[in-house]
Amino acid sequence: MKKILVLVSLIILMERISAQNGFPPLDKSPMDMSYYPVNYPILKIQDKIKDPPVARVIYGRPQKDGRNIFGDLEPYGKVWRLGANEATEIEFYKDVVSGNTKIKKGRYTMYALLNAVNWTIILNKDTDTWGAFKYDSTKDVARIQTPVQKQSDPVEIFTMIFEKNGDKSASLVIAWDAVIVRLPFSW
C-alpha cells in the first residue's frame, strides 16, 4: 500500500512540475519535415546549391506500436490526413506536374483516400487545419492515383521522404507499416 501511495504522489508531483513550467510533454507523433532536393537546408549553408528548393513536406509521425494500420486504424474508403495531428502540408516552390495534373506553386494540405491496391493522393487549398475533420472536397486542386507497394519489412514510424527520379523529376515516398506509396512529380 505504501508503494502505491508513493507512486501516486510521484505522478501528481510530476504533473504539477510539468504544469508549472507551462510546456507540454513531448508529442507521441512528433512533427517532421523533408525537402527536395534532399538535405536542401544543409546544402544551402554549404553553398552547394544555387536554385530554390522544389518541394517541402511537413507532417506528423505516428508510430505503428503493434497496431494493424491500413484497413483497420486507417479504414479503407475514408479520407486520411497522411500522418497525425495537423494535416500534412506540402509546398511546391515552382509549378509541377503530377500524373496529368498541373499544380501551381504554393502550399497545400495533403490527404489520401485509401484502399488496398491504390491510394488517391489529394492536394487541397485549405491549409492550417487539424486532421481531416473539416476536409472540404470543393477545395481540392488535385487528385492523383498512386499504386500501393507491399514490403516485407514494416516501417514502424510513418515516414515521408523525397527521392530523385531524373533531372527534373522526383517522388514523395510515403511509408508506414508494410506499405509504400510514391507520388511522382516533375517540373
Give tens-digit pLDDT for 61-89: 999 999 999 999 999 999 999 999 999 99
The pLDDT confidence band at residue 26, using thresholds 50, 70 and 90, is confident
- Cα dist from 78 to 109, 175, 184, whole Å: 16, 18, 22
pLDDT for the residue numbered 182: 98
Lowest mean pLDDT among 39-53, 63-77, 95-109, 165-179: 39-53
Backbone angles phi and psi of 21, in degrees to 5: -80, -10
Domain ranges in the chain? 26-186
Q: Are 68 and 27 in contact (CB under 8 A)?
A: no
CB atoms within 10 A of CB 125: 15
The residue written with cell numbers 492536394 in the block is 123
Q: How wide is the angle at C-alpha 59 spanned by C-alphas 136 and 146, nearest 5°?
A: 65
pLDDT value of position 23: 83
CA-to-CA distance for 93 and 70, rounded, in angstroms?
Answer: 31
Average pLDDT over all residues of the chain: 91
* C-beta of residue 132 within 8 angstroms of C-beta of residue 87: yes
Closest-CA residue to 90 (of 71, 72, 109): 109
pTM across the whole model:
0.84
Sorting pLDDT into bands at 50, 70 and 90, what band is 27? confident
Give percent of the chain above pLDDT 90. 80
- DSSP-derived letter for residue 63 is B
pLDDT tens for 112-170 read 999 999 999 999 999 999 989 999 999 999 999 999 999 999 999 999 999 999 999 99
Cβ–Cβ < 8 Å for 119, 148: yes
Instruction: Enumerate residues 6+ apart whose C-beta is below 8 A from 40.
Output: 49, 53, 56
Q: Which pLDDT does position 15 carry in this prediction? A: 62
